[in-house]
Amino acid sequence: MGNDGGSIPTRRELVKEAARALNTSELKATQQEAQGHAWSYCPLSNRPLATPIVSDWAGTLYNKDAILEQLLPKDADVPASVIKEKEDVLQGRVKGLRDIVEVKFTLSPDEEKNLCPITSKELGPTTKSVYLVPCGHAFSEVAIREVAGETCVECNEPYKREDIIMILPSSKEDVERLAARASRLQSSGLTHSLRKAPGAKKRKKNAEALESTPTTTGEPSKGLKPKHKFTEDGTSKARSGTSTPVPNGASNGIKNAATASLTARVLDEQEERNKRRKLGLNENLKSLFSSGGYSAQAQRSGDFMTRGFSLPKKT
């Protein structure tokens, strides 16, 4: 049977058929099987797709609760391998809820199939399907291509031709088109749902400031207004036009002119108190003390507050 002194089989005897490339029909069947799994299961949670279903800019379908769970802070007991596996599935395409669009399917009467509301074809791995941004209604690609107009037939929401998103694209051309659209939106400060990206306004401001910054030091650029006007004594005035002087550095980092003015006033009052403390004690308190030392003969005629007390001499 083996290891009994008999012959040892070689690889040629064990491998009867050499590895070969899949033919067209086998490759199509493999792709259709993969498409069927992607149409039925969420790649993040590996659970069946259930309403609400969302999609990223690449046309991948997810359960919305799986996306929300991924965006929430992770517990300490979650293995790092699980976190990395889910991040590899998203590939950085979903960083917030603005990066997804809820896909709205028209269900069959038995609510088991997704149908195109125009052609009544079943949307799935055998039918090229698309959805519109921003409304999210799903149709067959043939119906959208043949229907004239640029408004959704379900909700009359306007859309552009470039905002027709292929669901689970398989061709290289469709994948490249969706990637180019995502790149254009990112450069415009928009997300997949056509809403503004977080921090886009701030980045745009910084870019404009850098463009208007002069190359040589000296006068401020024309595109930027100085926040404070400096007087001859080195103090600065707030931009709001108030006459309250602001010491150097007092308004540093304070954008609100009223807050900067109040801060300057408090600092001035504190500085005035420090000056009074340095000049000396209150005049009423100074009258109770003598700077020349105590003299019993000189203070004998005073009252008990200024006369003090002297010890009798020893005999």
What does the domain layout of the chain look like in residue ranges? Answer: 25-187, 234-276
Contact 44, 90 (CB under 8 A): yes
Contact 70, 32 (CB under 8 A): no
Report DSSP state, residue 122.
B
Q: Hey, what amino acid is at 309?
A: F
pTM, full prediction:
0.59
Contact 172, 134 (CB under 8 A): no
For residue 106, the number of C-alpha atoms closer than 13 Å in the C-beta half-sphere is 19
Report DSSP state, residue 148.
-
- pLDDT for 241 equals 45
Poorest-pLDDT segment among 104-108, 124-128, 290-294: 290-294
Confidence grade of residue 266 (pLDDT, cut at 50, 70, 90): confident
More confident residue, 131 or 276: 131
Residue 70's SS3 state is helix
Nearest Cα residue to 165 out of 249, 274, 59, 7: 59
